[in-house]
Structure 1
Amino acid sequence: MLISMPGRDQSTEGWIAETFAALARVPVEGPEPVVWPFTPYYTGNPFQSVLYSRFAGRGLVAAPTFRITDLLATTRNWPGDVPLVVHLHWLNQVLAKCTDDRSADEAVGRHADLLDTLKDRGARLVWTVHNVLPHDTRFEAQEVRLREQVVERTDLVHVMSPATVAAVGDWFALPPEKVYQCDHPGYQGVYPDWIGRTDARRRLRIPDGAVALLLTGAVKPYKGIADLLEAVDRVSRVRPGEIVLIVAGKPDDAPETREFLTAAAAHPAVRLMPVPVPDVDIQVLMRAADLVALPYRRSLNSGVLALALSFGRPVLMPSNSGSLPVVDGGAALIYPADGVEALTEAVFSCLDVDLGALDRAAAAAGRRIDRAVVAERFAADMRSWADTGVVPQAPVVTVLSAQDDVVAGVAAGVPPGASR
């Protein structure tokens, strides 16, 4: 029998079949089902799978959609008695193939028309703000106008950082009455986690006593890769053998990235793996590292930060990051966003800081964004909004202490924040 895994069939027909099959499985005695297509769907990123992991229990049918244009076909003659919510995520696809301002203008116009068509068919719209603008923006004016049009048409804007409204304010405005805040979920239990610190560091040839910084995820210039390498080089010259930089992830083809890779490959303090990291090896990186480096030039939300905290790893990050509220309580070494000099001082401080205290704070921060807790709250809030139209308000204080036992049992092996 030839079958396809749910969410893997990228055809419009597959989307329709999977969605209505899911509708047929919704219990009759449960709440009225709401179809919730989300787009674009990225199979290599577990964020969406985690975010929607509690939807089924609320009668919300999360429907992965690879291309927003597929919705034009799938929602044609949409049954009026089936509520429909379209959830937009990253907007980078809209202008991805544009070659000049004219084609970018036309793409923005087509996207606005598409959203208007969906609304005319009865869909309500939600947008999650992942970043201020795409990291590799080529058409800034059009990217801004695109977001203005999306905000104008959406019924609810999901932000993951309380700093989002201020962070995007120089480019576009978010109406307060549309804004809903819910944290970026963690990744506890998503990846294997059985290796210990000693074995992990042995695999990466990291000397005992050296402080290891980890730079992982996509290797791109906006992540401050050149400054970080310069800072590590300066520190290693003064205190040789005491600092190691692990670089693991797929690089882009930017000239700055190529220069970085050449220098990193030749540097004795660097452990370079310029390839996508298999899921099973993420634990090796996280357990070997003392801190995860996030020296990004511009950052609003960070999946790498959520991953680090899920493993109980503290982070090194600049003071202009939109994710500062996530690490409140001492889970980060924060340095002034003043260039390589400030970053160098921060790397020096890594050698003398109380790593145990950082670990404990990072473990606590990870519990605050535990994936089960965040996903449950998101599902409950979205169900309430779908039923009432009232945008849920973020709680003044999030209390997660009751979940401590659950979190501690999520992953096998070395628990987050384990003693050294």
Structure 2
Amino acid sequence: MIVPWRRAVRPAHFLDDALSAVTAADWTADEPPVAWLYWPVDLANPYQSLIYSRFARRNLVPIRVTTFGAVDRLLAALPPGMPAVLHVHWLYEVTAGSRSGSEAVARVERFEARLRALSERGVRLVWTVHNVLPHETVHREVELRLRRFMLGAAELVHVMHGGHLDLLRTAFDGQPRASLVIPHPTFAGAYPDWVDRATARSALGIPLGARVLVTFGQIRPYKGHGAFLEAFDLAARADPRLRWLVAGKVRDETGGDEFVARAARHPAVLLHPGFVPEADVQLYLRAADAALYPYRSSLNSGAVALTAGFDLPAYASTGTSLADLMPPEAVVRFDLSDPRRTADTLAAPPVIESGAARAVVRAHARAFAPAAVSERMAAAVREHLAGRISVTVPAVTAARVIPGRSGGGRPGRTGG
């Protein structure tokens, strides 16, 4: 037979994937199978693949929802009585493309109505908070309304650091019915990693004696590339060994082209303004002595998860949230608003650029390994669901009823 799994060429293929996954569920286990639908799907970001990597062990069946309109078709294809959870991640698709505030409001109203209808059908709602608001917010009040709704509608809200709950209360003037604190995993093992420093630097044309700071990921206004360049210029004058290695696609947003033009002219900036193939990511990270995050603001950062998985210490602006992914002794902070002091910080003796600092990062990151984080999330979700699931097993699979469990149904609380 042809195995259709993850062909992902047409929407129908995702339905095939869902049915294949459901077929593989254990219908005889004490923990009944749960269809774990998640939306939106970001295939360019390994986060979802990693966070769900141990869900099957707990009979939670991850099912990708490519478009929100496909939810009904996926639910209809599930075996009768199979409980379903809709796990919502980023909310940018709800208002994306809105040409006016009124259009954004209309889209949010339709989305809210759909979620209410799904809830009435017994679909349970979980929300992971990846950021407080979109990085480049257009319709601020509409986005706030949407998140206030999610905070009240979701029966379980997942944050990646304990301090984020206070941020939600402040930003949205409310609190979740139940919350779950599970950290962002590192991306260790998600990307190829076989080159050493000498090979990486040879491939990129970087001298072995250079001090290389890497900023990896899309070039966007909130990431502060342009503002940091002035400080880096001052630092490079003080320490000619310094190199700033910047790799990532330039989004069509304010300041991107200007930064690329300035960076391209700077002799100490090594710029790759475009997509980096997966196998080449290791070149940029293994060539570096430390990661650099000049963000104006952030809540959870995939870039931090990536570089932590490559054992890189970090220079980070005060606006960059590291969310416990980095040990404090391997981090140097700087104030993006003070170029001179930032330059002095970078030009100072590079204490964190050492094998010892890398070892500290490596040891710290073990607690955030993808498998460990996924296991914690799956266990906590099961604890929350316990006592409120009752499922009739399809006759073609088994011939008995798995009753609901008794229990408090508390959300699992684990440290971030």
Instruction: Please say whether Structure 1 and Structure 2 have the same fold, judged by a TM-score greater than 0.5.
Output: yes
In the alignment, what sits opposite 1:368?
367
Q: Residue deviations 1:161-215, cap 9 Å, x none?
A: 2221233444214526521100111122221111001111122222232210111
Per-residue deviation, 1:75:
3.0
Residue 394 (structure 2) pairs with residue 394 (structure 1) = no
Q: 1:214 to 1:350 in 2, by over 3 A?
A: farther
Which range is displaced more, 75-84 or 110-119? Answer: 75-84
Per-residue deviation, 1:7:
6.7
Which range is displaced more, 249-258 or 19-28? Answer: 19-28
- The correspondence of residues 27-66 of structure 1 with structure 2, limited to 5 A, is 27-30=26-29, 31-66=31-66
Looking at structure 1, the residues matched to 328 and 351 of structure 2 have their Cα atoms a distance apart, in angstroms, of 19
Which range is displaced more, 362-371 or 276-285? Answer: 362-371
Matched to 2:8, the amino acid is R
In the alignment, what sits opposite 1:205?
205
Per-residue deviation, 1:341:
3.7
Secondary structure of 1:114's match?
helix
Q: 1:32 to 1:334 in 2, by over 3 A?
A: same
Matched to 2:266, the amino acid is H
Residue 96 (structure 2) pairs with residue 96 (structure 1) = yes
Q: 1:172 to 1:339 in 2, by over 3 A?
A: farther
Q: 1:56 to 1:9 in 2, by over 3 A?
A: farther
Looking at structure 2, the residues matched to 173 and 16 of structure 1 have their Cα atoms a distance apart, in angstroms, of 38
Per-residue deviation, 1:79:
6.2
Looking at structure 2, the residues matched to 294 and 310 of structure 1 have their Cα atoms a distance apart, in angstroms, of 15
Looking at structure 2, the residues matched to 349 and 89 of structure 1 have their Cα atoms a distance apart, in angstroms, of 40
Matched to 1:369, the amino acid is F
Q: TM-score, normalised by structure 2?
A: 0.89
Q: Residue deviations 1:354-375, cap 9 Å, x none?
A: 5334212211222121111111
Looking at structure 2, the residues matched to 16 and 262 of structure 1 have their Cα atoms a distance apart, in angstroms, of 45
Residue 313 (structure 2) pairs with residue 314 (structure 1) = yes
Per-residue deviation, 1:325:
2.7
Looking at structure 2, the residues matched to 81 and 16 of structure 1 have their Cα atoms a distance apart, in angstroms, of 18
Looking at structure 1, the residues matched to 193 and 261 of structure 2 have their Cα atoms a distance apart, in angstroms, of 32
Secondary structure of 2:94's match?
coil
Secondary structure of 1:69's match?
helix
Stretches of structure 2 lacking an aligned partner (at least 5 in a row) = 388-408
In the alignment, what sits opposite 1:331?
330
Contact 1:163 1:322 in 2 (8 A): no
Stretches of structure 1 lacking an aligned partner (at least 5 in a row) = 399-420
Looking at structure 1, the residues matched to 349 and 129 of structure 2 have their Cα atoms a distance apart, in angstroms, of 32
Q: Residue deviations 1:71-128, cap 9 Å, x none?
A: 1343359766211100000000011110111101111111110110110110110011
Per-residue deviation, 1:339:
4.3
Looking at structure 1, the residues matched to 83 and 239 of structure 2 have their Cα atoms a distance apart, in angstroms, of 62
Q: 1:227 to 1:344 in 2, by over 3 A?
A: farther
Q: 1:126 to 1:84 in 2, by over 3 A?
A: same
Aligned residues: 394
Secondary structure of 1:136's match?
coil
Per-residue deviation, 1:2:
7.2
